Amino acid sequence: MQVLVLGAGVVGVTSAWYLAKAGHEVTVIDRQVDVALETSYGNAGQISPGYSAPWAGPGIPLKAIKWLMQDLAPFMINGKEVDPQTLSWMTKMVSNCTQGAYHKNKARMMRLAEYSRDCFIDLRKELDIHYDERQKGTLQVFRTDKQVEASKKDISVLEECGVNFQELDQQGCIEYEPALANVKDKIVGGLRLPGDETGDCFKFTNALADECKEMGVQFVMKTDILSINKEGDEITSVSTSRGKLTADAYLVALGSYSTPMMSEIGLKIPVYPIKGYSLTLPIIDENKAPTSTVMDETYKVAVTRFDDRIRVGGTAEIASYNKDLNEKRRANVEFVVGDLFPGGGDIEKAEFWTGLRPMTPDGTPILGETKYSNLFLNTGHGTLGWTMSLGSGKYVADVISGQKTDIDPEGLSMARYH
Ligand SMILES: Cc1cc2nc3c(=O)[nH]c(=O)nc-3n(C[C@H](O)[C@H](O)[C@H](O)COP(=O)(O)OP(=O)(O)OC[C@H]3O[C@@H](n4cnc5c(N)ncnc54)[C@H](O)[C@@H]3O)c2cc1C
């Protein structure tokens, strides 16, 4: 079967990989000059099934109001960019802030993310693929006893889902992240997820794209997708800046831009761009740098070790599709890396970046079939799209191929919104 994959971020490329392995003739289209140049470029570098959780949770609306008034807040709203789509998405997100919804959504995300992490393990066995990868777990650090207490809720879900974890005191955190000894008075404890992994998503996507090319996948870059054309319940072609392209099946992996593209053909998907920021610093002193990912619960910022760089990323901004680099938001990520790992990296040489997380209000991506017989979705991966990318790609390739999927499809498709 000929399959057109729309979008060459990490989600499009992982899908192309599994589709090619299933024997399909695959073409990937993207507007950028190369793969992973939008949201998949500068993320925080975690493959973190253990940390998979929706942002919509009990108490979040109140916390969000407090954050709006806080310095170095993890969350902000850019009032100028709030439009009806923003309000509708926020309303849906708030309706997911109940204990019951949080529990259900977290379990769905973790099921997919755990499956995806296993796909990463299998992929490394199959391919000699490198992306500054490390398998040293991740550590969430708490600055207050209240945060330690609040983490008990997450621990009960980890237990239910059978995810390994370690509750650590201050000394325990330092054993895993020795550089924290320099700032030990700032932390009271932590939660470690030993099964989590780290690496550079941009390098990963590029390396996998090279493997895809070896398998015969065609990449059509510098090509704008203008519209998806339909007749009855079938997609007939895709109009692009290079003319019309046709295939037997079409897979949408356009990240945050999936929403406007789908609405043109009458598919309402609640995927909204939640802006985040990162800095990437060259390491100047290994002893003062992290060894894996350290997540600062207070500022919701993750600091990740690459081979010779530190990536620090996080914060959430509601600003629709605006991609301006807001210097005020830089202060947040810059503060955390300097506060937890002073002297580890060269802030003067840091690369500042912003990206739009394609977020659903319930945190789970939208995968698989649509009302069009030959149109499929792989979008809405939000905060942990790299984590879920291989699992989602494999799942969607199985659906397109008419194969039995390896994981329970409950709650993963568009059907959950009907
Ligand atoms: C600050 C930050 C930190 C993050 N940290 C992590 C983390 O630690 N771990 C993790 O797992 N995830 C993380 N994420 C989330 C993760 O990066 C995303 O979920 C993931 O990159 C989404 O991949 P994607 O392929 O769906 O989207 P994208 O990478 O955005 O790919 C979509 C592609 O579609 C193309 N496209 C869009 N519209 C068109 C069009 N009209 N024509 C042609 N091409 C088009 C774009 O060029 C782009 O290449 C983070 C995100 C941010 C912003």
| Structure confidence by residue, pLDDT tens digits, 6-27 | 999 999 999 999 999 999 999 9
More confidently predicted of 31 and 66: 31
From the CA of 41, how far away is ligand 1's center (Å)?
7
- Is the pLDDT assigned to residue 215 strictly greater than 90? yes
Q: What pLDDT is recorded for position 315?
A: 92
Residue 272: how many CB atoms within 10 A of its CB?
25
Determine if ligand 1 sits within 6 Å of the CB of residue 345.
no
From the CA of 295, how far away is ligand 1's center (Å)?
20
| Structure confidence by residue, pLDDT tens digits, 191-202 | 999 999 999 999
Q: How far apart are CA 19 and CA 25, in angstroms?
A: 8
Mean local confidence (pLDDT), 226-247: 98
CA distances from 210 to 18, 216, 218, 243 (A): 14, 10, 11, 26
Task: Show me where the domains of the chain are located.
Answer: 2-40+203-268+363-417, 58-98+127-196+272-359
Ligand 1 atom index nearest CA of 37:
49
Residue 259: how many CB atoms within 10 A of its CB?
22
Nearest CA to ligand 1 atom 2: 43
From the CA of 148, how far away is ligand 1's center (Å)?
31
From the CA of 9, how far away is ligand 1's center (Å)?
6
Helices (H), 69-200: 84-95, 99-126, 145-160, 170-176
Mean local confidence (pLDDT), 360-383: 98
Mean local confidence (pLDDT), 373-392: 98
Fold (topology level) of 2-40+203-268+363-417: FAD/NAD(P)-binding domain (3.50.50)
Determine if ligand 1 sits within 6 Å of the CB of residue 392.
no
Both tokens of 61, joined, read: 């609306």
Determine if ligand 1 sits within 6 Å of the CB of residue 386.
yes
Give the mutation target among 4, 31, 35, 39 for probing the ligand 1 site: most ligand atoms within 8 A of CB: 39
Determine if ligand 1 sits within 6 Å of the CB of residue 323.
no
Q: What pLDDT is recorded for position 194?
A: 96
Report how far apart the first and last C-alpha atoms of the chain are (Å, whole number): 30
Fold (topology level) of 58-98+127-196+272-359: D-Amino Acid Oxidase; Chain A, domain 2 (3.30.9)
| Structure confidence by residue, pLDDT tens digits, 253-281 | 999 999 999 999 999 999 999 999 999 99
